[in-house]
Amino acid sequence: MRNLIVLGLALSCVALPCSGVANAADEEPPPWAWAFTSRDDRVTPITPLAPLPGANSSAGETAPPSHNLAGSKFSFTRAEVWSSYGPADWFPEDHPQMPEIVAKGRRSSNPPIVACALCHLTDGSGRPENANLTGLTQEYIIQQLVDFSKGRRKTSDPRKANTEAMSKLATAMTEEDMRAAAEYFSSIPAKKTIKVIEAAIVPKTRSGGGTFHILPGADACTEMLGNRILETPVKEEDSEIWRSPRSGFIAYAPPGSLEIGKELVHTGSGKTVECTACHGSDLRGMGPVPRLAGLAPSYIVRQLYDMKHGNRTGLWSPLMVPLLKNLGTEDMMNAAAYLTSLDP
Ligand code: HEC
Ligand code: HEC
């Protein structure tokens, strides 16, 4: 079986362009950054494993079991963890007190505002399919919320529905909501949540709910990574079922990508301007220019691709767009592997 996979990959390599050569394939959104394996994958639900008992609990349903996460003083049911208007807070000691809009959102708004904490997690550290909101300035966060609300942040792969959800809820946010959320997330220091490992052979995964999941039990096997970055939770159940903000992710990147990415980020590699010029010498951001160190690689590549292809057109995006002209998706991948590996 392994031999067949390797052979299949070797054969498919013949048709692939060599690195550095401009090619049409560069212009397709790379499926892995949108957590798909191909252009033909169908969307799989955000709930990656079994259906969530009690997720929409109605009266009369038997009480679903509670669960405890190591290190937490609390136990919650899946319904509590996945609640749109007040998701479970496993580790209140890890973050300042959340303002109402972050902890609960506002169901009565039109459209309703789902709690930021549900998607971005209570401490704002986020997940590959959304965004890390820590380590940013208030000014930047508010500008992005305004950009979302004005339809200036779209995603290049229409299968990704949560970007549209983000846009919609931003239209319902008041200035006061934006200020409160920005003040909260900008007050949380960024922490390292993703470990980058260079590897040619990786565990076989399946796509689901915006990230990749290692096949368990009898289905477990390995496959060639190829030219992509693979993000997968460190602890599948803690992360994907119980949405632990402490579980973290592993990003497998092609051997050599960190070194090539480092060169690109610090010198531009003759293709663009060095990223440090605006994002700061440590890539932790400068004034309203956002930090890049430690971000999810899929998020980084989505943003670069979206900006290059006219789908992210925020007030400050024009500063980035010309720099992306000569960068193909492989360059973006290498830069992302390196940027993710940095301490935030
Ligand atoms: C339904 C899930 C969901 C909810 C709820 C949600 N977001 Fe988001 N948010 C996203 C996604 C997805 C993205 C990234 C979009 C992409 O990659 O195309 C994002 C991106 C962002 C960004 C951009 C970060 C950056 O570095 O540019 C900000 C800021 C943000 N969200 C703030 C908020 C705030 C504040 C709330 C609560 C009022 C909130 N979000 C609620 C899904 C969500
Ligand atoms: C001329 C200044 C400048 C340079 C040089 C620059 N950037 Fe940016 N970058 C920005 C600004 C400004 C934004 C915010 C764009 C917006 O608000 O839409 C940004 C946003 C980004 C984002 C989105 C971050 C987020 O949280 O959503 C990524 C990723 C990024 N840049 C990567 C890079 C990379 C990689 C390089 C080097 C190849 C680079 N940038 C070089 C100014 C710059």
The predicted-structure confidence for 208-219, as pLDDT tens digits, reads as follows: 889 999 998 899
Kindly state if the Cβ of 119 falls inside 6 Å of ligand 1: yes
Kindly state if the Cβ of 125 falls inside 6 Å of ligand 1: no
Kindly state if the Cβ of 287 falls inside 6 Å of ligand 2: no
Residue whose Cα lies nearest atom 20 of ligand 1: it is 131
Neighbouring C-beta atoms of residue 73, cutoff 10 Å: 10
Ligand index nearest the alpha carbon of residue 122? 1
Identify the pLDDT of residue 63: 65
Mutation probe of ligand 1 site: the residue of 142, 166, 186, 311 with most atoms within 8 A of C-beta: 166
Identify the pLDDT of residue 61: 52
Residue whose Cα lies nearest atom 3 of ligand 2: it is 278
Q: Are 173 and 145 in contact (CB under 8 A)?
A: yes
Identify the pLDDT of residue 7: 32
Contacts of 114-118 with CB under 8 Å at 24 or more apart are 114/84, 114/85, 114/165, 114/169, 115/83, 115/84, 115/85, 115/86, 115/87, 116/181, 116/185, 117/87, 117/89, 118/82, 118/83, 118/84, 118/87
CA distances from 180 to 134, 168, 224, 302, 307 (A): 14, 18, 45, 27, 27
Centre of ligand 2 from the C-alpha of residue 30, in Å: 19
pLDDT, tens digit (0-9, with 9 covering 90-100), for 173-202: 999 999 999 999 999 999 999 999 999 999
Identify the pLDDT of residue 343: 97
Centre of ligand 1 from the C-alpha of residue 162, in Å: 8
What does pLDDT average to in each consecutive run of 10 residues of the chain (344 residues)?
35 34 64 93 60 46 81 96 97 98 98 97 97 97 98 96 96 98 97 97 93 92 97 95 96 98 98 98 96 98 98 98 97 98 97
Centre of ligand 1 from the C-alpha of residue 190, in Å: 16
Kindly state if the Cβ of 188 falls inside 6 Å of ligand 1: no
Residue whose Cα lies nearest atom 12 of ligand 1: it is 130
Identify the pLDDT of residue 27: 79
CA distances from 130 to 75, 120, 150 (A): 25, 7, 19
